[in-house]
Amino acid sequence: MHYEPIRLNPDPLAPYNISPGFKADGMLYLSGHAAISESGDLMGVDNFDAQAQATFESLQRTLKAGGSDLSRVIKVTIYLTDMSHFEKIVALREKWFTAPYPADTIVEVRSLALPELMIEIEAIAVEA
- What pLDDT was estimated at residue 44? 97
Q: List, for residues 26-42, the tens digit of each pLDDT value.
A: 999 999 999 999 999 99
Q: Report the SS3 class of residue 32.
A: strand
- What pLDDT was estimated at residue 98? 92
Number of structural domains in the chain: 1
For residue 99, give every residue at least 6 positions away whose Cβ sits within 8 Å of its Cβ, in sequence order, or none.
none
Q: Looking at the whole model, is its pTM more than 0.75? A: yes
64: left (phi over 0), alpha (psi -120 to 50) or beta: alpha
Domain that holds residue 58: 3-126
Least confident range from 22-26, 36-40, 69-73: namely 36-40
pLDDT band at 1 (very low <50, low <70, confident <90, very high): confident
Sheet containing 3-5: order of strands: 3-5, 21-24, 27-33, 119-126, 73-80, 103-108
CATH code, 75: 3.30.1330.40
